[in-house]
């Protein structure tokens, strides 16, 4: 039997990590549809996730940067201006009428206004955002720990995933959504962010609230959050793969 700290096994896992990483280097816009590639994605996803969890401790933190590294302008990608009537109405009134709905497998479903979220303990972190398209950008995010919001509503024992429902439709016309497991959701750097670089989140970057999951690739970080749903399975959400891009061939586990 090989143990996790066996050097041979560790080298194997490191190689697997690199292989998983290389597969990720296809662009956000280049969607792979072949079955072979799909199963490779699935297999490398599971392996990468296992490898990460053996090599990195449960609580390992994403690197944080000094203020001088903050990019003058944080690049925007994907949807940059949601077009739905509802979103436009909310934006026109500075998101004063916006509420985050938290529901599903929770004890007390609740709606949070932006003011209510700003009243909760805040965390600020300067991190690097990595998009699979091959660009990175360093920015400073301020928000409330997702774990604190989850504790407020009480997560039921049967819940396994947190699903983030967004306001925008992207190519294909589906609503953007994403999901995390509870371990990633309770990571101390997983935030519901309302400020970027000390100012309210711009619309291009996900106003009024977006997810930051700093150990994951950019596509996991859902913008324009409307609703958070606790579920025991991802099968019945979207097309069943756990996210808008996952439904189009990307890995659900996007750890970096
Ligand atoms: N709702 C929503 N969230 C989204 C996207 C999107 O199109 N819609 N694009 C994703 C991708 S691929 C990236 S790289 C980041 C981009 O975030 P930014 O616009 O702040 O750079 O948001 C992610 N979250
Ligand atoms: Mo991305």
94-116 residue pLDDT tens: 999 999 999 999 999 999 999 99
Nearest ligand 1 atom to alpha carbon 245? 12
Q: 172: phi > 0 → left, psi -120 to 50 → alpha, else beta; which?
A: left
Please state, rounded to an integer, the average pLDDT across all residues of the chain: 87
Nearest ligand 1 atom to alpha carbon 28? 12
For ligand 1, atom 11, name the residue with the nearest CA: 219
| Beta carbons of 40 and 249 less than 8 angstroms apart | no
232-253 residue pLDDT tens: 999 999 999 999 999 999 999 9
For ligand 1, atom 5, name the residue with the nearest CA: 78
Distance separating alpha carbons of residues 251 and 256, to the nearest angstrom: 12
For the sheet containing 99-104, what is the strand order? Answer: 110-113, 99-104, 225-231, 161-169, 175-181
Considering the segment(s) 7-248 as one domain, its CATH architecture is Alpha-Beta Complex (3.90)
Query: Taking Cα atoms as reference points, which of 125, 90, 46 lies closest to residue 209?
Result: 90
pLDDT of 231 above 70 = yes
pTM score: 0.82
6-58 residue pLDDT tens: 445 444 444 444 444 444 433 333 333 445 555 555 666 776 776 666 656 65
**Distance from CA of residue 209 to its chain's centroid?**
12
The kind and range of the H/E element at 220 are none
For ligand 1, atom 9, name the residue with the nearest CA: 78
Residue ranges around ligand 1 (CB below 6 Å): 28, 74-79, 131, 166, 168, 170, 176, 204-206, 218-219, 221-224
Residue corresponding to tokens 């816009």: 29
Residue environment code for 131-163, b if the CB has 16+ CB neighbours within 10 A, otherwise e: bbeeeebbbbbbbbbbbbbbebbebeeebebbb
Question: How many A from CA of 138 to the centre of ligand 1?
Answer: 15
For ligand 1, atom 15, name the residue with the nearest CA: 218
| CA distance readout (Å), 57 to 1, 13, 53, 60, 61 | 22, 15, 6, 5, 9
Ligand 1 test: best mutation among 91, 191, 202, 221, most atoms within 8 Å of CB?
221
| Beta carbons of 87 and 224 less than 8 angstroms apart | yes
Distance separating alpha carbons of residues 145 and 136, to the nearest angstrom: 23
pLDDT score, position 56? 62
pLDDT score, position 12? 46
Question: How many A from CA of 24 to the centre of ligand 2?
Answer: 11
Distance separating alpha carbons of residues 190 and 211, to the nearest angstrom: 7
């Amino acid at each position: 039997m090989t143990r996790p700290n066996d050097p041979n096994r560790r080298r194997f896992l490191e190689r697997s990590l690199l292989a998983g990483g290389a597969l990720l280097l296809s662009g956000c816009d280049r969607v792979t549809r072949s079955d072979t590639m799909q199963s490779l994605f699935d297999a490398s996803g599971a392996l990468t996730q296992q490898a990460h969890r053996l090599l990195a401790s449960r609580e390992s933190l994403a690197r944080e940067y000094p203020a001088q590294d903050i990019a003058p302008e944080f690049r925007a990608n994907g949807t940059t201006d949601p077009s739905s009537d509802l979103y436009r109405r909310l934006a026109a009134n500075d998101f004063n009428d916006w509420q985050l709905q938290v529901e599903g497998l929770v004890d007390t479903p609740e709606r949070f206004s932006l003011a209510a979220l700003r009243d909760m303990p805040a965390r600020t972190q300067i991190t690097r955002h990595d998009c699979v398209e091959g660009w990175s950008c360093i920015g400073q995010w301020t928000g409330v720990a997702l774990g604190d919001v989850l504790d407020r509503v009480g997560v039921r024992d049967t819940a396994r995933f947190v699903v983030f429902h967004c306001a925008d439709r992207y190519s294909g016309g589906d609503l953007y959504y994403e999901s995390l497991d509870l371990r990633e959701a309770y990571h101390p750097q997983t935030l519901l962010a309302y400020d970027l670089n000390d100012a309210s989140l711009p619309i291009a970057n996900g106003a009024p609230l977006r997810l930051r999951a700093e150990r994951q690739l950019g596509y996991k970080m859902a913008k324009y959050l409307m609703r958070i749903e606790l579920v025991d399975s991802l099968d019945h959400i979207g097309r069943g793969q756990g996210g808008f891009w996952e439904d189009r061939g990307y890995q659900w586990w996007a750890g970096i």
